[in-house]
Amino acid sequence: MGSITHFVISCEHGGNRIPTQYRHLFHGLEILLDSHRCYDRGALRMAKDLAQLLNASLFVATTSRLLIDLNRSIGHAQLFSEATKYVSASIRREILTHYYLPYRTQVEQTIAESIRRGERVIHISSHSFTAVLDGEVRHADIGLLYDPSRLAERDLCCRWQASLKTKAPYLTIRRNYPYAGKADGLTTYLRRQFPAEAYLGIELEINQKHVRDSGQHWQALRHLVLETLHDVIG
Protein backbone atom coordinates (compact mmCIF):
# COMPACT_ATOMS: atom_id res chain seq x y z
CA MET A 1 0.00 0.00 0.00
CA GLY A 2 1.02 3.61 -0.42
CA SER A 3 2.14 5.79 2.46
CA ILE A 4 -1.08 7.84 2.42
CA THR A 5 -3.49 7.06 5.22
CA HIS A 6 -7.17 7.90 4.96
CA PHE A 7 -9.02 8.11 8.27
CA VAL A 8 -12.63 7.08 8.66
CA ILE A 9 -14.55 7.85 11.86
CA SER A 10 -17.93 6.29 12.52
CA CYS A 11 -20.47 6.41 15.32
CA GLU A 12 -23.16 3.76 15.08
CA HIS A 13 -24.92 4.60 18.37
CA GLY A 14 -24.82 8.38 18.34
CA GLY A 15 -28.37 9.27 19.38
CA ASN A 16 -31.70 8.20 20.83
CA ARG A 17 -34.00 9.39 18.06
CA ILE A 18 -37.00 7.24 17.18
CA PRO A 19 -38.64 8.22 13.86
CA THR A 20 -42.25 9.33 14.32
CA GLN A 21 -43.76 6.42 12.39
CA TYR A 22 -42.20 3.90 14.79
CA ARG A 23 -42.78 5.60 18.14
CA HIS A 24 -45.89 3.56 18.84
CA LEU A 25 -43.68 0.46 19.00
CA PHE A 26 -42.04 1.88 22.13
CA HIS A 27 -45.22 2.39 24.15
CA GLY A 28 -44.41 1.17 27.65
CA LEU A 29 -40.67 1.16 26.91
CA GLU A 30 -40.12 4.92 27.17
CA ILE A 31 -37.71 4.55 30.11
CA LEU A 32 -35.27 2.76 27.80
CA LEU A 33 -35.01 5.76 25.49
CA ASP A 34 -32.76 7.72 27.86
CA SER A 35 -30.69 4.72 28.97
CA HIS A 36 -27.43 3.15 27.82
CA ARG A 37 -29.57 0.57 26.01
CA CYS A 38 -30.72 3.30 23.64
CA TYR A 39 -27.48 4.99 22.62
CA ASP A 40 -23.82 5.54 23.52
CA ARG A 41 -23.73 8.75 25.53
CA GLY A 42 -20.75 10.92 24.53
CA ALA A 43 -19.76 8.81 21.50
CA LEU A 44 -21.06 11.33 18.97
CA ARG A 45 -19.08 14.22 20.49
CA MET A 46 -15.94 12.07 20.55
CA ALA A 47 -16.46 11.01 16.92
CA LYS A 48 -16.78 14.62 15.77
CA ASP A 49 -13.63 15.61 17.65
CA LEU A 50 -11.69 12.71 16.12
CA ALA A 51 -12.88 13.56 12.63
CA GLN A 52 -11.81 17.18 13.03
CA LEU A 53 -8.36 16.20 14.33
CA LEU A 54 -7.75 13.69 11.53
CA ASN A 55 -9.54 15.47 8.67
CA ALA A 56 -11.44 12.21 8.39
CA SER A 57 -14.52 10.98 6.60
CA LEU A 58 -17.24 11.04 9.29
CA PHE A 59 -20.32 8.81 9.46
CA VAL A 60 -22.76 9.15 12.33
CA ALA A 61 -26.16 7.73 13.15
CA THR A 62 -28.49 9.41 15.62
CA THR A 63 -31.36 6.94 15.29
CA SER A 64 -31.51 4.72 18.37
CA ARG A 65 -30.09 1.23 18.24
CA LEU A 66 -33.39 0.14 19.80
CA LEU A 67 -34.89 0.64 16.34
CA ILE A 68 -32.07 -1.31 14.67
CA ASP A 69 -28.47 -1.79 15.77
CA LEU A 70 -26.10 -0.59 13.06
CA ASN A 71 -23.21 -2.36 14.80
CA ARG A 72 -24.77 -5.83 14.44
CA SER A 73 -24.77 -8.13 11.44
CA ILE A 74 -27.96 -9.13 9.67
CA GLY A 75 -29.23 -12.24 11.43
CA HIS A 76 -27.68 -11.33 14.79
CA ALA A 77 -30.03 -11.88 17.75
CA GLN A 78 -29.60 -8.25 18.85
CA LEU A 79 -30.04 -6.59 15.46
CA PHE A 80 -33.59 -5.69 16.49
CA SER A 81 -34.60 -4.86 20.07
CA GLU A 82 -37.55 -6.11 22.10
CA ALA A 83 -39.53 -3.19 20.60
CA THR A 84 -38.90 -4.16 16.96
CA LYS A 85 -37.99 -7.85 16.72
CA TYR A 86 -41.63 -9.02 16.91
CA VAL A 87 -43.11 -6.62 14.35
CA SER A 88 -44.03 -7.87 10.90
CA ALA A 89 -41.30 -8.92 8.48
CA SER A 90 -42.33 -6.11 6.13
CA ILE A 91 -41.76 -3.45 8.81
CA ARG A 92 -38.39 -4.96 9.73
CA ARG A 93 -37.41 -4.92 6.03
CA GLU A 94 -38.52 -1.28 5.83
CA ILE A 95 -36.33 -0.35 8.83
CA LEU A 96 -33.42 -2.31 7.38
CA THR A 97 -33.79 -0.62 3.99
CA HIS A 98 -34.14 2.95 5.25
CA TYR A 99 -31.78 3.05 8.24
CA TYR A 100 -29.35 0.12 8.30
CA LEU A 101 -28.27 -0.54 4.73
CA PRO A 102 -27.62 3.08 3.64
CA TYR A 103 -25.34 3.71 6.62
CA ARG A 104 -23.35 0.49 6.37
CA THR A 105 -23.07 0.74 2.58
CA GLN A 106 -21.80 4.32 2.72
CA VAL A 107 -19.04 3.45 5.20
CA GLU A 108 -17.99 0.36 3.24
CA GLN A 109 -17.96 2.16 -0.12
CA THR A 110 -15.87 5.03 1.23
CA ILE A 111 -13.28 2.59 2.55
CA ALA A 112 -13.30 0.60 -0.69
CA GLU A 113 -12.72 3.75 -2.76
CA SER A 114 -9.78 4.80 -0.59
CA ILE A 115 -8.16 1.37 -0.87
CA ARG A 116 -8.67 1.39 -4.64
CA ARG A 117 -6.69 4.65 -4.71
CA GLY A 118 -3.82 2.82 -2.98
CA GLU A 119 -4.44 4.37 0.44
CA ARG A 120 -4.39 2.62 3.78
CA VAL A 121 -7.53 3.15 5.86
CA ILE A 122 -7.59 3.55 9.64
CA HIS A 123 -11.19 3.32 10.80
CA ILE A 124 -12.06 4.32 14.37
CA SER A 125 -15.57 3.47 15.51
CA SER A 126 -16.56 5.65 18.49
CA HIS A 127 -18.51 4.01 21.33
CA SER A 128 -19.09 4.31 25.07
CA PHE A 129 -20.08 1.78 27.71
CA THR A 130 -22.11 1.90 30.90
CA ALA A 131 -20.04 1.82 34.10
CA VAL A 132 -22.18 -0.95 35.61
CA LEU A 133 -23.89 -3.70 33.61
CA ASP A 134 -26.17 -6.28 35.25
CA GLY A 135 -24.74 -5.36 38.65
CA GLU A 136 -21.12 -5.83 37.53
CA VAL A 137 -18.74 -2.86 37.67
CA ARG A 138 -16.67 -2.43 34.52
CA HIS A 139 -13.06 -1.81 35.54
CA ALA A 140 -11.80 0.45 32.77
CA ASP A 141 -11.89 4.10 31.81
CA ILE A 142 -11.03 3.56 28.14
CA GLY A 143 -11.11 0.39 26.07
CA LEU A 144 -9.35 -0.16 22.74
CA LEU A 145 -10.85 -3.00 20.69
CA TYR A 146 -9.11 -4.74 17.79
CA ASP A 147 -8.44 -8.13 16.22
CA PRO A 148 -5.24 -9.54 17.83
CA SER A 149 -4.46 -11.52 14.68
CA ARG A 150 -4.13 -8.28 12.68
CA LEU A 151 -0.72 -7.05 13.71
CA ALA A 152 -1.09 -3.43 12.59
CA GLU A 153 -4.26 -3.07 14.68
CA ARG A 154 -2.55 -4.65 17.68
CA ASP A 155 0.51 -2.42 17.30
CA LEU A 156 -1.56 0.75 17.02
CA CYS A 157 -3.62 -0.11 20.10
CA CYS A 158 -0.56 -1.10 22.15
CA ARG A 159 1.14 2.20 21.34
CA TRP A 160 -2.04 4.20 21.97
CA GLN A 161 -2.52 2.44 25.31
CA ALA A 162 1.10 3.16 26.30
CA SER A 163 0.75 6.84 25.43
CA LEU A 164 -2.48 7.12 27.41
CA LYS A 165 -0.90 5.40 30.43
CA THR A 166 2.13 7.71 30.28
CA LYS A 167 0.07 10.89 30.14
CA ALA A 168 -2.74 9.73 32.46
CA PRO A 169 -1.42 7.04 34.84
CA TYR A 170 -4.52 7.51 37.02
CA LEU A 171 -6.74 6.05 34.27
CA THR A 172 -7.28 2.35 33.56
CA ILE A 173 -6.70 1.71 29.86
CA ARG A 174 -7.50 -1.81 28.67
CA ARG A 175 -7.32 -3.59 25.34
CA ASN A 176 -10.23 -5.72 24.11
CA TYR A 177 -12.31 -4.75 27.12
CA PRO A 178 -15.19 -4.50 28.00
CA TYR A 179 -15.81 -6.39 24.75
CA ALA A 180 -13.69 -8.59 22.52
CA GLY A 181 -12.45 -6.82 19.41
CA LYS A 182 -13.36 -9.84 17.27
CA ALA A 183 -16.99 -9.90 18.44
CA ASP A 184 -19.75 -9.09 15.95
CA GLY A 185 -19.60 -5.46 14.87
CA LEU A 186 -19.03 -3.15 11.93
CA THR A 187 -15.23 -3.34 12.15
CA THR A 188 -15.37 -7.14 12.31
CA TYR A 189 -17.55 -7.21 9.19
CA LEU A 190 -15.20 -4.82 7.36
CA ARG A 191 -12.14 -6.91 8.21
CA ARG A 192 -13.73 -9.69 6.17
CA GLN A 193 -14.04 -7.34 3.19
CA PHE A 194 -10.56 -5.77 3.21
CA PRO A 195 -7.01 -7.10 3.74
CA ALA A 196 -5.10 -6.38 6.94
CA GLU A 197 -2.45 -4.27 5.21
CA ALA A 198 -5.12 -1.98 3.76
CA TYR A 199 -7.71 -1.73 6.55
CA LEU A 200 -7.32 -1.20 10.30
CA GLY A 201 -10.54 -1.26 12.33
CA ILE A 202 -10.41 0.00 15.92
CA GLU A 203 -13.32 0.46 18.33
CA LEU A 204 -12.80 3.18 20.92
CA GLU A 205 -14.85 2.57 24.09
CA ILE A 206 -15.12 5.26 26.79
CA ASN A 207 -16.69 4.69 30.20
CA GLN A 208 -19.89 6.73 30.41
CA LYS A 209 -19.10 7.82 33.96
CA HIS A 210 -16.71 10.36 32.41
CA VAL A 211 -19.39 11.63 30.07
CA ARG A 212 -21.87 12.02 32.94
CA ASP A 213 -19.47 14.36 34.73
CA SER A 214 -19.59 16.55 31.59
CA GLY A 215 -17.99 19.99 31.76
CA GLN A 216 -14.22 20.37 31.99
CA HIS A 217 -13.54 16.77 32.99
CA TRP A 218 -15.20 15.32 29.89
CA GLN A 219 -13.52 17.94 27.72
CA ALA A 220 -10.11 17.10 29.23
CA LEU A 221 -10.61 13.38 28.63
CA ARG A 222 -11.50 13.96 24.99
CA HIS A 223 -8.43 16.15 24.61
CA LEU A 224 -6.29 13.38 26.12
CA VAL A 225 -7.67 10.82 23.65
CA LEU A 226 -6.96 13.15 20.74
CA GLU A 227 -3.49 14.18 21.93
CA THR A 228 -2.31 10.60 22.48
CA LEU A 229 -3.70 9.39 19.17
CA HIS A 230 -1.92 12.25 17.42
CA ASP A 231 1.32 11.27 19.18
CA VAL A 232 0.94 7.67 17.99
CA ILE A 233 0.00 8.24 14.37
CA GLY A 234 1.94 11.47 13.79
SS (H, E, C) 105-158: HHHHHHHHHHHHCCCEEEEEEEEEECCEECCEECCCCEEEECCCCCHHHHHHHH
Q: Which CATH architecture has domain 5-233?
A: 3-Layer(aba) Sandwich (3.40)
Lowest mean pLDDT segment, chosen from 27-31, 46-50, 89-93, 130-134:
27-31
Hey, where are the domains in the chain? 5-233
Q: Are strands 173-175 and 142-145 parallel, antiparallel or unpaired?
A: parallel
Q: Tell me, what's the pLDDT at 214?
A: 66
Over residues 184-206, the pLDDT tens digits come to 999 999 999 999 999 999 999 99
pLDDT above 50 for 2 = no
> Residue 164: how many CA atoms within 13 Å on its side-chain side?
26
Average pLDDT over residues 204-232: 93
13-25 per-position pLDDT tens digit:
999 999 999 999 9
CA of 152: how far to CAs of 34, 90, 124, 205, in Å? 37, 42, 14, 19
> Using 50, 70 and 90 to split pLDDT, how confident is the model at 28?
confident
With pLDDT > 90 as the criterion, what percentage of the chain qualifies?
92
Q: Within 13 Å, how many C-alpha atoms sit on residue 113's CB side? A: 9
CB 229 within 8 A of CB 202: no
